[in-house]
Amino acid sequence: MTTLVLLSDLVFESNDKLNQKIRSLFHSEQPSIGYIPSCSDAERRYFEHTRRYYNQIGIDNIQYYDLDLQYEENTFGSIFECDAIHLSGGNTFYFLSLLQKRNVLGLLRSYVKSGGMLIGVSAGSILTTPTIEIAGYGEDADENNVDLKDMKALGLVDFEFAPHWDGSEDALDSLREYTRVKRTVVYACQDGGGLVVDGERVELYGNVCLVDYRESGSSDE
């Protein structure tokens, strides 16, 4: 059963329902989370922010695994013993290039298929979808500084994800054009919200809008 949490951002004034849902997905009394940064976080600045978030919902065992400058091949494999793996925010193109370079994409797919949970934030959420093309779309697009050619991501869901939606109709119109051109489906998500894939169900939390080239609807919880 596929279990995914796709977040737009990690904010402490988040949706209580969403926090409770995330905590309920862990069946262990003392769950562990393996954290993968989108690039080396030498001062652990973003890692510490993430650790504090999980601490506030009752999860204390958060472990840092670098795929970039501090990559340790002989110890990285232990991340797959964790109850969940957290994919951080950052530059989506660079992040995917690291996953490709370290041959981690297939391992992450197998981990999820074997019952492991993936939690993505922004770029990390986009990586769970079929392609990261949307990361290069729009006014606040990531720059493809690594000249990445292969945009295929994990493909664990059949939709795309647009984080940091500002709530405007203009942004939705832009995404509608994207979905028409790509013939795809996109969930636009404001910060503080997210969606949970729990088996066959997709649950929306906060201000999330479904943009479908065939139809559209929204959810506000």
| Domain parsing of the chain, residue ranges | 3-220
Are the beta carbons of 208 and 185 closer than 8 angstroms?
Answer: no
Which is it for the CA torsion 49, 65, 155, 134, positive or negative? positive
Looking at residue 125, what DSSP letter applies? H
Looking at residue 213, what DSSP letter applies? S
Structure tokens at 108: 């992450």
Q: What is the pLDDT of residues 78-137, one digit of tens each?
A: 999 999 999 999 999 999 999 999 999 999 999 999 999 999 999 999 999 999 999 999
Rounded to two decimals, the pTM is 0.95
Q: What is the pLDDT of residues 36-89, one digit of tens each?
A: 999 999 999 999 999 999 999 999 999 999 999 999 999 999 999 999 999 999
CATH of 3-220, one of 3.40.50.880, 3.30.2290.10, 3.40.50.360, 3.40.50.720: 3.40.50.880
Structure tokens at 183: 């013939």
